[in-house]
C-alpha cells in the first residue's frame, strides 16, 4: 500500500490568504490522520507575479499556525533551505525536469509547438465571444509538422508548447467531495504547457511534480476543478497512476461572496496582528466547510487530526463568520497559559504607550494579574488596550447618567472618606487588603449591598460593571486609588 503523501503548493505572490491556510490545514489533517507525509512545495513559475519575501511569509504563517510539514522548503536562521528526497521543492529550480517531459509529449504527439501571437489569440477569442462560443485556442498550429515547427524555431520565431487534446472525448475523474465528474474535451482549451520564457505553466509543472514526489491526494480549491481534466489526461498519456482529487469549496464572507481584501481581513498575518491565537484560528477555520460526526466545535489540533475526513467536507462554500471566530478564540484566551498570554499581550500595551520595556520587566507579576482580570472579556488580544484603560487613567469619567447620579448620592462622601482612611493606614495594597477592604468599609459606615459596591466601582473606574472589584483595587494600588478618590471629590461632589 502506498504511503499517503499530500502537499501544499502555494505561489509566492503575496501574503497567505485565510482560504490558503484552510487548504494547507485540510492537507495536513488528512496526512496526519493517515500517518502520511505533508510537503510544502513552492510554485513560482509565474515570474510576473512573484513577490520578494512571500516565501518567508508563507513559511512563518504556517509555523505560527502550528501546521508542521515533513519535507519541502524551510526557513532556518533567516535563510531558505530544502529538506527531503524529492527536491528541489521550488519549481523555478526544476526547469530541466519539466523540459524533458514536455519534449517527451511533443515526440509522442501529445503536444505541439504554437507560434501564434498574442494579438492573434486575442482576436480569435473576441470573435468566439461574439458568436457565443467558449473562448479557446482555435488549433491553427496543430497541423504543423514537427519538421516545420523546428524550422520556425531555428529561425528565431517565438513559441509556446500546447497540449494536444483528442476531439470529443469524455474525461472522467472521481472527487472525494463532489463524486464523479465528466468533462468533454470539446469544452476544454489546448492548454499552454511551456511558455515562451521557458517556464512551464501550472498545468504542466503540477502534474510532473505531483507524480515525481509521489503525491497520492491532491487537495486544492474548487477554482482548479475545470483544469483537472487536462491534468488527468496528462497522467493518462504519461502512463502514470492518477492521484485522488479533492476540490474544496470556497471560503465565503457573510454575504456569500468570496473573501477579498475589499471586505476586511483575509491574510493570516492580519489575524495574527490582531491577537488571534493560532489555536483559536485553526480550530475555527477547520469548521469552515467541515464538521466532525459529533458536531463538537471546540477541538485541539490533535482532536482535529483524529476526527478529520473528507467525507464530512461540504460541497457548498463555507461561511467565514468573524463573530463565530471571536467566540472560538475567546474560549482559547480564557483557558490559555497565563504566562504565555501575558507575553503575547505585552506588545499591544507597549504599542499603545501604556507600558514600556522597563515596566514590563519590573512589574511582570502585576501585568499577569491585569491580563487574568480582563481575559474573560477578550475575543482577541488587541482588544486588551481598551479593556485596561481604567487602570492607567486617573481621570474618572462616569460612563453614563446612571453612573453620574450614583456618584452624587448623599452617602458617597462618607464612603470615600472611609476608603481613604483605610488606605492611609497601610504602606501598599496587597491581595489581602484588596480582599478585605470592602468588608471593613461596610463595618465602618454601615453601608452595604448595591449602595456600597457600585459607587466604589464607579469612583475607581467610571463604570457600573466590569472586572472583579478585588482585582481592580489590587491593580490600582494605594496611590492611584487615593488620586481617584481626590479627583471624584473635586469633580463630582
CATH number of the structural domain spanning residue 61: 3.40.50.620
Cell numbers found for residue 175: 472527487
The answer to whether residue 329 sits within a structural domain is no
The answer to whether residue 330 sits within a structural domain is no
Find the mean pLDDT for residues 416-432. 94
On whether the CB atoms of residues 32 and 5 are closer than 8 A, the answer is: no
The answer to whether residue 327 sits within a structural domain is no
The percent of the chain in helix, strand and coil, each rounded to the nearest 5, is 55, 15, 35
82 sits in which H/E element? strand 79-83
Does residue 260 sit in the same domain as residue 174? Answer: no
- The total number of structural domains that make up the chain: 4
Find the mean pLDDT for residues 172-200. 94
Does residue 108 sit in the same domain as residue 123? Answer: yes
User: Exposed/middle/buried for 492, CB within 10 Å: 0-12, 13-18, 19+?
Assistant: middle
The answer to whether residue 414 sits within a structural domain is yes
Does residue 343 sit in the same domain as residue 414? Answer: no
Cell numbers found for residue 182: 465528466
Q: What is the pLDDT of residues 24-47, one digit of tens each?
A: 999 999 999 999 999 999 999 888
Q: How far apart are CA 149 and CA 155, in angstroms?
A: 10
Q: Among 373, 386, 391, which residue's Cα sits nearest to residue 481? A: 391
Q: What is the pLDDT of residues 76-124, one digit of tens each?
A: 999 999 999 999 999 999 999 999 999 999 999 999 999 999 999 999 9
Q: What is the pLDDT of residues 224-242, one digit of tens each?
A: 998 999 999 999 999 999 9
pLDDT at residue 129 greater than cutoff 80: yes
Find the mean pLDDT for residues 153-161. 96
Query: Look-up: residue for cell 524529492?
Result: 86
Cell numbers found for residue 338: 497565563
Does residue 110 sit in the same domain as residue 35? Answer: no
Q: Which of 129, 261, 315, 439 is catalytic?
A: 261
Active site residue 131: no
Q: What angle do CA 371, 376, 378 make, to 5 degrees?
A: 80
Q: What is the pLDDT of residues 284-325, one digit of tens each?
A: 999 999 999 999 999 999 999 999 999 999 998 889 999 999
Q: What angle do CA 456, 457, 462 make, to 5 degrees?
A: 115
The answer to whether residue 65 sits within a structural domain is yes
Does residue 234 sit in the same domain as residue 260? Answer: no
pLDDT at residue 261 greater than cutoff 80: no
Does residue 444 sit in the same domain as residue 460? Answer: yes
Does residue 404 sit in the same domain as residue 422? Answer: yes
pLDDT at res. 44:
92
| Kind of pairing between the strands at 160-163 and 192-194 | antiparallel
Q: How far apart are CA 65 and CA 28, in angstroms?
A: 12
Does residue 406 sit in the same domain as residue 478? Answer: yes
Does residue 235 sit in the same domain as residue 377? Answer: no
User: Exposed/middle/buried for 208, CB within 10 Å: 0-12, 13-18, 19+?
Assistant: buried
- Mean pLDDT, the chain, integer: 94
Range of the domain at 433: 393-492
Last residue of a domain, one of 230, 248, 266: 248
Does residue 181 sit in the same domain as residue 309? Answer: no
Does residue 139 sit in the same domain as residue 161? Answer: yes
Q: In this structure, what CATH number is given to the domain that contains residue 469?
A: 1.10.10.350
CA–CA distances in Å: residue 33 to residues 72, 260, 304, 421, 453: 20, 31, 9, 64, 54
pLDDT at res. 396:
87
Q: Residue 473: beta bridge partners?
A: none
The answer to whether residue 225 sits within a structural domain is yes
pLDDT at res. 257:
83
On whether the CB atoms of residues 62 and 24 are closer than 8 A, the answer is: yes
Last residue of a domain, one of 248, 277, 305: 248
Does residue 316 sit in the same domain as residue 420? Answer: no
The answer to whether residue 54 sits within a structural domain is yes
Q: In this structure, what CATH number is given to the domain that contains residue 344?
A: 1.10.8
Find the mean pLDDT for residues 458-474. 94
What's the alpha-carbon Rg for the chain, to the nearest Å?
A: 32
Q: How far apart are CA 369 and CA 214, in angstroms?
A: 52
Last residue of a domain, one of 204, 225, 248: 248
The answer to whether residue 111 sits within a structural domain is yes
pLDDT at res. 458:
94
Amino acid at each position: 500500500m502506498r504511503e499517503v503523501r499530500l502537499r501544499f503548493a502555494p505561489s509566492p505572490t503575496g501574503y497567505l490568504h485565510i482560504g490558503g491556510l484552510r487548504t494547507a490545514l485540510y492537507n495536513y489533517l488528512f496526512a496526519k490522520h493517515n500517518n502520511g507525509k505533508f510537503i510544502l512545495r513552492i510554485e513560482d513559475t509565474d515570474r510576473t507575479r512573484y513577490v520578494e519575501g512571500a516565501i518567508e511569509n508563507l513559511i512563518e504563517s504556517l509555523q505560527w499556525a502550528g501546521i508542521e510539514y515533513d519535507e519541502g522548503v524551510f526557513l532556518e536562521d533567516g535563510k531558505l533551505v530544502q529538506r527531503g528526497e524529492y527536491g528541489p521543492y521550488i519549481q523555478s529550480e526544476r526547469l530541466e525536469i519539466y523540459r524533458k517531459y514536455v519534449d517527451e509529449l511533443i515526440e509522442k504527439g501529445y503536444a505541439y509547438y504554437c507560434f501564434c501571437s498574442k494579438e492573434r489569440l486575442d482576436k480569435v477569442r473576441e470573435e468566439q465571444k461574439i458568436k457565443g462560443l467558449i473562448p479557446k485556442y482555435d488549433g491553427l498550429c496543430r497541423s504543423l509538422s514537427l519538421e516545420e515547427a523546428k524550422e520556425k524555431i531555428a529561425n528565431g520565431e517565438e513559441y509556446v508548447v500546447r497540449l494536444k487534446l483528442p476531439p470529443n472525448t469524455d474525461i472522467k475523474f472521481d472527487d472525494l467531495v463532489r463524486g464523479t465528474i465528466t468533462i468533454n474535451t470539446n469544452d476544454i482549451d489546448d492548454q499552454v504547457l511551456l511558455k515562451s520564457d521557458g517556464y512551464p505553466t501550472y498545468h504542466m509543472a503540477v502534474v510532473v511534480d505531483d507524480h515525481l514526489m509521489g503525491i497520492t491526494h491532491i487537495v486544492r480549491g474548487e477554482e482548479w476543478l475545470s483544469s483537472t481534466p487536462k491534468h488527468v489526461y496528462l497522467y493518462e498519456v504519461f502512463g502514470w497512476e492518477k492521484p485522488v482529487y479533492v476540490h474544496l469549496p470556497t471560503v465565503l464572507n457573510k454575504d456569500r461572496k468570496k473573501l477579498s481584501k475589499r471586505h476586511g481581513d483575509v491574510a493570516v498575518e492580519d489575524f495574527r496582528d490582531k491577537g488571534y491565537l493560532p489555536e483559536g484560528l485553526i480550530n475555527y477555520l477547520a469548521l469552515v466547510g467541515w464538521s466532525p460526526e459529533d458536531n463538537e466545535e471546540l477541538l485541539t489540533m490533535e482532536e482535529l487530526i483524529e476526527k478529520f475526513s473528507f467525507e464530512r467536507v461540504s460541497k457548498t462554500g463555507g461561511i467565514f463568520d468573524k463573530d463565530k471566530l471571536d467566540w472560538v478564540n475567546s474560549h482559547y484566551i480564557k483557558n490559555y497559559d497565563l504566562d504565555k498570554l501575558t507575553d503575547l499581550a505585552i506588545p499591544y500595551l507597549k504599542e499603545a504607550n501604556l507600558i514600556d520595556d522597563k515596566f514590563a520587566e519590573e512589574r511582570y507579576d502585576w501585568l499577569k494579574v491585569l491580563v487574568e482580570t480582563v481575559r474573560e472579556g477578550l475575543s482577541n488580544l488587541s482588544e486588551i488596550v481598551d479593556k485596561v484603560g481604567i487602570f492607567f487613567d486617573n481621570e474618572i469619567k462616569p460612563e453614563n447618567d446612571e453612573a453620574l447620579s450614583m456618584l452624587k448620592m448623599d452617602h458617597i462622601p462618607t464612603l470615600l472618606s472611609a476608603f481613604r482612611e483605610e488606605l492611609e493606614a497601610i504602606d501598599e495594597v496587597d491581595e489581602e487588603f484588596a480582599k478585605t477592604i470592602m468588608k471593613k468599609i461596610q463595618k465602618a459606615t454601615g453601608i452595604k449591598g448595591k449602595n456600597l459596591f457600585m459607587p466604589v466601582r464607579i469612583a475607581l473606574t467610571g463604570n457600573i460593571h466590569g472586572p472583579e472589584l478585588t482585582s481592580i483595587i489590587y491593580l490600582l494600588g494605594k496611590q492611584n486609588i487615593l488620586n481617584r478618590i481626590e479627583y471624584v471629590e473635586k469633580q463630582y461632589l
